[in-house]
Structure formats: C-alpha cells, structure tokens
C-alpha cells in the first residue's frame, strides 16, 4: 500500500508541478528564479524525459507493428494486444530531438542572461520543436484507437507534462527578454532589426525571430540525423507508419480469434516456467481444455467456498475479478511475466489454503475436483 501511494504521489508530482509553473509564469511579472526553483524545473524535465524513454521502450516491446493482425478472445471479444503508436524504425530521430530539447531547457533554466544570442535562440527553438512534437503526438493518439494502452497513456501523460513545463520556461524566457528591452533606446541602424524590436516591445507575446528561424533549424536537425543514417522525413513517418491512430496510413487488418477468455491464472499455469508454476494436469473450463496447477485449483476452490457460504460477498469479489483480472492477463506474454504473477499470488494462495483447511472438512477433495468433469456437473461459477 505504501509503495502504491509513493508511486501515485510521484506520478502526480510531475503534471501538478508543471501546471503550477505554467500558471505562475502566466500570472506573475518578471522575476528571477531561486536556485531551488531552478533545481525542481530541471529535475522535473529530467523525469519527463525518462518517462518518455520508458514509453518508447514499452511502445517497442509491447506494441504490435503496423499492418499486423491483432488477437482477440473468441468468448469475450476482448483484445489481447495493441498497435505501437509510433513507428519504431524512426524512434532514434525523435530521441535526438527530445535530447536537444532537454539540453535547450537546461540552458534556458540555468544560464539565462549569460547565454550568447545565437545559443539562446537555438535552445529556444529546440524547446519549441519538442512542444510541436508533443502536441502532434497527443492529436495522433487522441482517445479512440487500437493502440497498446500502457505505452500510449504513459506517453500522453509525459507529453502533457512537457507542454506545461516547457511552455512555462519559454514564457519566463520571453518575459526576461522583453524586460531587457524596456528602457533601452534602440540604436539599430538596420531597419529589419528595428522592426523586430518594435514588434517585441509592442506585442510581447512571442519573439518573431523564433518563428522565422524555426524552419531552418528543423532542417539543420534533419541534416544531422541524415548523417547518422536516419531518413530526412523520419519525424513525419514516425506517425504515418502506424495503424489505427489519427495520422496512420497503414490499414489495420481484421483481428484474429484465439480460443478462451483470457483468464489470467490459467495463463500463468500455461505460460510460466514448469519448474516454478508446476502444471499438474489438464482441466476443463467453458468446454475448453486448459492446463491447471495447484495455485489455480486452490484459488478456484476458495471461490467455491465463498459462493457456498457468502454468496453476496462472492458476487462482489467476482465482479472485481472480472473487471481487473482480464487487463492483467493481456500483458502476460512471456514465461517471466507469468512467473512474476505466480510469485505475487503466492501469499494469497497460502491465505486461501488456510481458509479452506479452516472451514472445510475435506479441503483436498474440494481442491482436486476443480476444473474436472465432476466439478462441471455442479454448474457453479468458476474463477
């Protein structure tokens, strides 16, 4: 419980801090930042960067490539997997862009006022390009898609936080830039520079110089990427070469059916390493043959006890299991993940066994008949 609370607070800190920073930057006048506030700005930016890289990793290992069929269970119609929201072939380009944006954020946060004009402009452009990419990803994924949910939600969470934090930093940078112009008598002989000066003082919204050099800067970044073997249109293709999302161009084929309904303890018994999960025999579930182990038999016998002695409570437990058990099962795709679920269930297994030996005269008989033809004839709920 303490661990979950810590993780919740950790994840809530990032967007809440970013939102507070943006609100303060929009509401307050120009003022210097303390060392503590700069530290938290940089710390939050680094956390967001790490969360995005984690999202990219999950996008690669859990998401299916565009054009491949998804799998769904015949009995429930529930999906097993989802598509990658970004084309993994072009992820390197995105990582380079995000790294440059993070470095730009560091420079604007820690060294503002001492940055040469060209470095200041390049750092600002890198941050702006990150905002453009983040906004594009959010509109690309939206709310309705067949994507891999964990990676999509993590990336959406991270990019929203990035937009808030980077926007706050750019707003502070702009305020300091405008403040430095106030009270200064321009001595520009060049009419174009004088025009920019008047625009900056009059409108005080965005430095027009950024908008003018934005495209050339993006081209320069692409040329650098080409030198490292990346395609010049990789920032576009990373969205286009996907399936089921708003900017996808590769059609999603019809999903393929798999037997069963995705029961996650059945999945553990079937997919885990045999020396650990110890499958013992075949069983019958919904007229389908499955592999069962002792943990599965004990869990099902415990539900049998609940249904017999506490029917109302059993219905509540059953609803909870149906709601949360399946989302766990769809991510058990390897032997190691099945092993982890098996070990996590061990304390509950021991508790179930303790209850069975406490209330049942012949607990081993009840355990042994689970998922058997004899148990099928009893026509009671199965876990």
Q: Phi and psi of 290, rounded to 5°?
A: -130, 165
**Residue with the two structure tokens 């999906």:** 79
**pLDDT score for 223:** 53
pLDDT of residue 32: 62
pLDDT at position 339 is 76
User: What's the CA gap between 73 and 285, in Å, rounded?
Assistant: 14
Kindly list the domain boundaries of the chain, sorted by start residue: 2-240, 264-377
Residue 16 pLDDT exceeds 50 = yes
pLDDT, one tens digit per residue, over 84-107 is 999 998 898 899 899 999 999 999
Q: What is the pTM of this model?
A: 0.64
Better pLDDT: 323 or 34: 34
At 176 the pLDDT is: 73
Q: How confident is the model at residue 138 (pLDDT cuts 50, 70, 90)?
A: very high
Q: Check residue 289 and report its DSSP letter.
A: E
pLDDT in tens, 153-162: 999 999 999 9
Model confidence at 230: pLDDT above 80: no
* Rounded Cα–Cα distance for residues 273 and 253 (Å): 33
Question: What is the average pLDDT across 66-90?
Answer: 77
- 243 contacts: CB under 8 Å, gap ≥ 6: 66, 67, 68, 83, 146, 250, 251, 252
Residue range 164-178: mean pLDDT, rounded? 82
Cβ contact 159:54 at 8 Å: no
CA–CA dist 13, 44 (Å, integer): 9
- For 315-366, the DSSP string reads HHHHHHHHHHHHHHHTT--SHHHHHHHHHHHHHHHHHHHHHHHHH-SSHHHH
Contact status, residue 8 vs residue 128, Cβ threshold 8 Å = no
Burial track 5-26 (b if 16+ CB lie within 10 A, e otherwise): eeeeeeeeebbebbeebbeebe
Regarding predicted confidence, which is higher, 354 or 341? 354
CA distances from 167 to 19, 41, 98, 332 (A): 10, 12, 15, 39
pLDDT in tens, 247-304: 898 988 887 655 554 555 666 665 677 777 777 777 766 666 667 788 888 888 888 8
Nearest-angstrom CA–CA distance, 243 and 67: 6
């Amino acid at each position: 419980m303490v661990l979950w609370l810590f993780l919740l607070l950790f994840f809530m800190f990032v967007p809440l801090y970013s939102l507070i920073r943006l609100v303060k930057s929009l509401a307050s006048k120009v003022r210097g930042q303390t060392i503590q506030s700069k530290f938290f700005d940089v710390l939050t930016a680094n956390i967001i960067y790490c969360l995005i890289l984690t999202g990219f990793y999950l996008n690669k290992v859990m998401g299916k490539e565009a054009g491949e069929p998804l799998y769904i269970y015949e009995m429930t119609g529930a999906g097993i997997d989802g598509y990658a929201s970004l084309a993994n072939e072009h992820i390197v380009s995105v990582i380079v862009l995000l790294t440059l944006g993070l470095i730009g954020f560091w420079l604007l946060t820690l060294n503002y006022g001492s940055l040469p004009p060209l470095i200041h402009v390049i750092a600002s452009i890198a941050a702006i390009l990150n905002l453009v990419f983040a906004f594009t990803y959010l509109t690309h994924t939206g709310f309705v898609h067949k994507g891999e949910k964990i990676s999509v939600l993590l990336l959406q969470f991270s990019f929203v936080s990035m937009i808030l934090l980077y926007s706050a930093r750019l707003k502070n940078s702009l305020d300091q830039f405008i403040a430095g112009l106030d009270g200064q008598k321009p001595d520009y002989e060049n009419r174009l520079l004088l025009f920019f000066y008047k625009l900056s003082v009059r409108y005080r919204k965005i430095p027009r110089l950024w908008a003018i050099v934005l495209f050339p800067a993006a081209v320069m970044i692409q040329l650098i990427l080409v030198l490292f073997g990346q395609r010049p249109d990789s920032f576009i293709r990373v969205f286009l070469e996907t399936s089921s999302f708003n900017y996808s161009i590769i059609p999603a084929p019809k999903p393929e059916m798999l037997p069963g309904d995705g029961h996650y303890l059945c999945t553990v018994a079937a997919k885990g390493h045999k020396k650990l999960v110890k499958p013992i025999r075949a069983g019958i579930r919904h007229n389908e043959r499955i592999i069962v182990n002792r943990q599965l038999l004990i869990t099902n016998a415990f539900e049998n006890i609940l249904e017999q002695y506490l029917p109302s409570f059993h219905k509540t437990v059953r609803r909870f299991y149906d709601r949360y058990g399946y989302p766990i099962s769809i991510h058990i795709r390897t032997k190691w993940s099945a092993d982890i679920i098996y070990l996590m269930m061990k304390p509950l297994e021991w508790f179930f066994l303790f209850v069975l030996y406490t209330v049942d005269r012949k607990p081993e008989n009840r355990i042994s008949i689970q998922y058997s033809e004899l148990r099928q004839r009893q026509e009671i709920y199965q876990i």
